[in-house]
Structures are given as structure tokens and as C-alpha cells.
Structure 1
Amino acid sequence: MIAKRDVAVIGGGPAGLTTALALAMQGASVRVFEQAETLGDIGAGLQISPNGGRALAALGLTDALDRISLPSEAVVPTNGVTGRTVTRFDLTGQVPRYRFVARPDLIAMLAEACRARGVELCLGTRADDPRADLVVGADGIKSQVRARLNGADAPAFSGQVAWRAVVQAEAPPQARIWMMPGRHVVTYPLPGNRLNIVAVQERNDWAAEGWHHADTPQAMRDAFADACPALHDILWAVEVPLLWGLFRHPVAARWHDASHVLVGDAAHPTLPFLAQGANLALEDAVVLARCVARHGIAAGLPRYQALRAPRVTRAIAAADANAVNYHLSGVRQRAAHLGLAALGRMAPGAFINRLDWLYGYDPAG
């Protein structure tokens, strides 16, 4: 019921390209409008969890993803001050595998698949309100389509800022969470012997949203001056960290009208403490395409929101909880770390089982 209908997608990031591909595979005539002159020239690493992997599998991209990414073996919570490993949660039993990928590589893979399906990529083109049977707002946290549907948004500063960086380094195939009082760092490898770094600090002042605010390496080093030697070596290798303030945005109350719909961060921005921003966007794309293919645009759009809103709300709440748990100090930190260690010894599958509602989801239905 979407076949041969004209679709305009605003935004050429993972959300927009995946949605364009999913709709093109249902027979729609799709154009993607991206105001940047090139695709995928910003950003660092992404974690594709099994739910996101299933979304890409539904689009026939499993082999392509395998070629550009690394499989993860574990999540390793670590005391960032002492360097002591708290526990290790094995991920090797996950199907599909949890994977690490560079954002530009993911975008290049999606763009190639889009072109193969006849999607027109309009780069260096701003499209505020294109003419189409369906307009998809995949234009991120500052979405103009979201503003059209919901009015102005007033995000709230979370009290945390984050630095992103990539350095040349060899590392085991695992995500390590370096937990410290009021701070944490997440590191994981990327293809090409690179290490992705996200370092978060609680503070009262804030940095502007976005990825394009270069900070001095010394500012980040000062924030983690008491890091253990292993983490110290990683952070001191960073030459140009990018800093941004972390803001909480409400899940959009209204995701669609008769001819416009939101996907990804435009609908449901999330803090990066569950590594689900990209994965939820990949899910959105597959579910949206499925809904409009089965029910048409008029009935499919409300069906899409009804299916997605409860799930993304739960995921955002889980990410918010991690923002607290990673930053504990004193007695609370010791108790939490002892609990994690006991969980890892006595019930090694409990970590994954607890997240089965998230990782076990199949957006293809």
C-alpha cells in the first residue's frame, strides 16, 4: 500500500537512510534530502546490539554489516580509579552478535544499499517541507518536522557533558565501562585498530548540544585526573576531543499527521547510556515500513506510533537509570560493585536475561 507512492526523507543519517531503504524495499519512490555536502563525515563509533542487528537483517544487510564491524565478546564494568575489573558479562551467545562499527562506515553501507534500490540521495539540499505523499522527519534532535507536529521543544540539561574521541589503539573485542564518582568512560574497539571513547562528567555548567564543539585535551584530562593508569593512557592519547552537553528531551507526543512522520532522534532522543539511539532508529525504520505497507499511510502511521512509543519510552528510562548507576561513590559504589561481581559469578547470564526485552526484540515482527 506504499508501493509507487512518493516519499521524502529529511536527514541522511542512520535513521533517514535506513528508513529510505526500508520504504524503497516496499516499492516506494524515495528521495533523501541531506543538507551536508557529503554523507557520514562526522561521528565516531556505534554499538549495534542484537535488536538493531535484526533490523538490518530484515533489510538484507547482515553480511554487509559483518564486513564493516567487529563482534563484541563482553561488557566489562571496571572501577575507573583502581583499574579493577568488577565483573564480565559475556555476549558471545547473542544472535545476531553485538557489534561495533564506525558511524561513517555504517552510513556508507546504508547509502550504497539505498542507491541499489533506486533511492535518490539529494546532498547539499535543505528541504524544509518537500512535496510528497509521505514526509519522514529523520532530522535529529533539532528536527523541524517535530516542531511542525508538536511545537517548540524545551530540552532540559541533564547535568552531564560528554567528550567523544577516537584514538589508534589495539583493544580486546569488548565494551569496557570505567565507572568513577560523578563520571564514567566507555571504550570499545573499531575496525582499523581504533578505540572509540565516550567520557561523561557531571557538572553544573553545560556545553551546547551537538558533536561539533572541539574542546582542549587538557579539559578532559583534568576531569579524569585520578583515573587508573590504563584509563589515563587512553585519555591522554586524545588530541582533539569533541564536547557536547547532554540534554533530556521528552518523547514526542505526536509522531505524525496525515502526511508527516518522525523517526529516530526526531521522535525520541535518548541519553547515550544504553547505546540504543541508533538501534532504536533502525527499529523505527523497519516498523514504519511494515506498518504503511500493510495498512497504508492513513492507518499505518498511528499504528507505527502505537507500536513504538511504549518501547522507546522504556529504553530511555533504562538509559537514564544507567546515568546514575555508573556515577556512584563511597558506600553506594562499593555495594553496587559487590552486587555486580556476585551477579557475574553466580548468574553470568542474568545481565543478558534482564535485557531480553531490549535485545530480544525483532522489529520485523
Structure 2
Amino acid sequence: MPLTGQKITIIGAGIGGLAAARALALRGAEVTVLEQAECIREVGAGLQISPNGAAVLRALGLRPETFGMANSAVRLLDLRGRTALRMDLAPLAESSGYYLCHRADLIAALAHGAREAGARVRLLQRVDEITTGAAPEIHIANRARVRPALVVGADGLHSRLRAAILGEASPRFTGQVCWRAVVPATPEDPTRPEARVYMGPGRHLVSYPLRGGQLRNIVAVEERAEWAPDSWSHEDDPENLRRAFAGFCPEVQSLLARVTRVNLWGLHRHEVAPRWFAGQTALLGDAAHPTLPFMAQGANLALEDAWVLAASLAEGLSGAATPEAARAQIEPSLAAYQAARRPRAERAIRAANRNAWKYHLRFPPLRLAAHTALRLSGALAPGAMLHQFDWLYAHDVTGGQRLAPDLDCPVSEGDLCP
């Protein structure tokens, strides 16, 4: 295998880090994942796996239908609950499918897959400093030093490796905050497995089922001037969420009445990293290209990154006759990875940035005109809205390749400790 004997350390056991661990280990690399937490855990939340992300999971032998629900449609509604547009996702089922997934279940599948492929996941490993260059070194808080052939920073928004490569970031608050919560489902909830977007002046709320319809995911965004931290770990009072959406329809009120715990995230705009690698260190996922949540592509882009990084390294190192020759090919392979990924990530993030205002129209005549246009579009050209994103959803970075047979994966029931 082209990466046999290559020692690669990944910082961060999130979606991108664990996917990269499996993709690299399946190609022969000796992979270690460093995670600062005592357990691999995720704040309870849902996510959407679009066909471009599902294609990567399938190529890694991870079947999204075993831990996610097939999504039938995206429905746009006004704040009174009247449908403006229903986008049928049935055409996407013909490719890799579109799924609604609990984040913890995806993490569980990826962690199992990484370990099954031979990757080691080491917990309680807080990274203090990273030296980049041709001989990278990771300084752990317990004073240990790690010197792999390659360091991959999959450590999210506040990446230590990104800071080492580019210096400290200066994100800009967008004037928007986002709540997320998961609540128990009730018989009065919509029965169809679809994502619903309720649009109102200066705010919108997304809801969809999880775990076979046992749970409902809530993501709610409001425009406001008050600053909020750039972190999902900040908890908020559920009453603040309920007040923000008090004027919405009974379906939304029923959902919000069930919220007992909610996390608040201040939406900040981060620049896509101008450089994704330095020497033999590379960035992946949110560490390279944090995105706002208006296209549901954060997890999907990270999955794509993981595949392309592993494939670029495998191709670049495949002809090396000696370990020294292989090591010399790492940096050119990282340059190929950046060239393949950066333009696509930038395009997806631009699309997400443009989407926010469409849901938040404040001027009533303009909002009425926009929703009327959506209804006409749905009646006259029902597939047009969805097909405008063919460049995103229909793109398969794997080219139909399969690295491993299908793997049976557990569904998360809590923290993923070894």
C-alpha cells in the first residue's frame, strides 16, 4: 500500500479527523489521533449528510443508512406554517442519498471505522504547541513530544495548527446567533422525514427528525447586535430561544416548548485559510475553512477533505522507492490537496454566506413577493431550485472508488470511550 510505514498524527477526533484516520489507515499509514477530551463526545445535535458527503462514507465502507434517516425533502415555510416551496430530494437518492443524522451516531461510526482500520485514538492529549516545517513536532501538555512524518490539524475553529501556520485568526461577528437543541418527538410532529425551514423577519428555524423519528433536531438563527462567543459549548436559557420565535406557528411553538437545554453559538465569519499546509503539516475541515451553517456543508466538506488528503498522499507517494523518497513527496502531495480542495470550499462557503438573507426578509411586501416567487417556482419548475446546487451535491470526490467492504457500525449511546 502506498502509505505503508508513514507515521501520521491527526489532531482532533471530530468528523474530519476520524474520517481522515480511516482513509489514511486503509491506505497503509500508521495513524495516531490525538484528542484532548477524556472521551470522544459530541454535544447532542443533528446534521445533514448530503450526497457528496455520503459518497465518502460509502467509499470508506460506512453506510449512512445504518446510522441516519433518508431525507425525502427540504420544505420552506413562512412563520405561519404555510409552505412556500418543497424541494423533493428523491432524485438525490439515485446517487449516494441524503441523510439526517445525529452527530454522535456519525462520530461513533467514524471512531469505530478508524480503530477497525488500525488507527490509534489517544485521549487526554492536549496539544500546547506545534512546530511546522520538514520535521514537525507536537508538544503535548504532559511534556511529551511527538515527531511524525506528517501532522494533520483537524482541530476545528480554534485550531492550534492553523495558528502555527498562519498566526492567530481575526473572525468577524456576523450579527447573527444560532441555537441548537434536540427534543423528544411527539405524535403531533410532521411524520415525513424532511427538513423544515420556517422563515421569519430577521430569523429562521430548521427542524428535522433523528434516530428513526424518536427525536427532533432544532437549529434556530436570529439576527441581533449583541455579541455571542464563537463556540457551541455555551449554554443559553431556553426562554431566550422561545422569546425569539414567539410569533411563529403552533408547530414551532410545540417544538420549543420541549426544549430544556439549548446551546448558543455566535456566528462569526472566518476566512478560508490562504495556505492549508506548511512543510509536512496540513489543515483539514473547519481548521482550514470554517463555514456558516446555511448550506449544511460543514461535515460534508470535512469528509471530502479527508478523502482527498489521503488520496493525494497515496498518489504522490506511490512511486517512491525508499522512505526518504516518500518523505520528499509529502509536501508536493499537500500542495495537490490544497489545489484540489480550496476553490471548492471557497465556493461552498460563498453559497452559505448568500443563503442567510433569503430566510430573513424583514420588509413585509418584499417577504410576500419572495415567498410568492418560491411558490410559483415550485409549481412551474419544481426541480430548478435543487438543480442549481448540482455542482455541490452531485460532485463525488471518490470517483466511485471503494477502499473497504461495508463495516457494521454501532450507534452511539453516550460518550465513546474505549
Q: TM-score, normalised by structure 1?
A: 0.97
Partner of 1:123: 123
1:122-141 matches, cutoff 5 A: 122-127=122-127, 128=129, 129=138, 130-141=146-157
Residue 17 of structure 1 corresponds to which residue in structure 2? 18
From 330, 333, 338, the equivalent of 1:305 is 338
CA distance in 1, matches of 2:60, 2:303: 10
Of 310, 315, 323 in structure 2, the residue corresponding to residue 289 of structure 1 is 310
| Bigger Rg, which one | 2
Q: Does 1:158 align with 2:158?
A: no
Q: Give 5+ residue unaligned stretches, structure 2.
A: 130-137, 139-145, 318-329, 400-418
Work out whether 1:106 is the aligned partner of 2:106.
Answer: yes
Pairs within 5 Å for 1:263-282 = 263-282=284-303
Q: Distance in 2 between matches of 1:150 and 1:303?
A: 19
Aligned to 2:407: none
Greater mean deviation of Cα atoms: 230-239 or 247-256? 230-239
Q: Indicate whether 1:197 and 2:218 are aligned.
A: yes
CA distance in 1, matches of 2:397, 2:152: 18
- 1:314 pairs with one of 324, 347, 363: 347
**Residue-by-residue CA offset, 1:43-90 (whole Å, 9 max, x unaligned):** 41010000000111111112xx2111100000000002x211112110
Residue 66 of structure 2 aligns with which residue?
Answer: 67
Q: Which residue of 2 aligns with 1:350?
A: 384
Write the distance in 1 (CA, Å) between the matches of 2:37 and 2:112: 17
- Counterpart code for 1:84: R
Q: Which shifted more, 209-218 or 246-255?
A: 209-218
Q: Is the CA contact 1:274–1:322 (under 8 Å) kept in the aligned structure 2?
A: yes
The CA distance in 1 between the partners of 2:373 and 2:205, in whole Å, is 20
Deviations 1:71-119 (A, max 9, x none): 0000000002x21111211001212110011111111101111111110
Query: In the alignment, which of 187, 209, 223 is matched to residue 244 of structure 2?
Result: 223
Question: How many matched pairs?
Answer: 362
Deviation, 1:246, is: 0.5
Q: Which residue is 2:81 aligned to?
A: 83
Equivalent position SS for 1:357: helix
2:90 counterpart SS class: coil
Alpha-carbon offset, residue 2 of structure 1: 2.6
- Measured in 1, the distance between the counterparts of 2:282 and 2:242 equals 42
SS of match in other structure, 1:88: strand
Contact 2:236 2:264 in 1 (8 A): yes
Q: What is the TM-score when the length of structure 2 is the normalising length?
A: 0.85
Matched residues in 2 for 1:29 and 1:235: separation?
A: 46
**Where does structure 1 differ by over 3 angstroms across 4 or more consecutive aligned residues?**
none
Q: Is the 8 A contact 1:40 1:105 kept in 2?
A: no
Are the aligned partners of 1:40 and 1:103 in contact in 2 as well (CA < 8 Å)? no
CA RMSD of superposed structures (Å): 1.1
* SS of 1:36 mapped into structure 2: coil
Deviations 1:305-360 (A, max 9, x none): 11111101011011111111110122221121111111111111112211100001
Aligned counterpart for 2:90 among listed residues 83, 92, 103: 92
For structure 1, the 5+ residue unaligned runs are: none
Tell me, yes or no, if structure 1 residue 237 matches structure 2 residue 276: no
2:367 pairs with one of 333, 345, 354: 333
Q: Distance in 2 between matches of 1:113 and 1:350?
A: 37
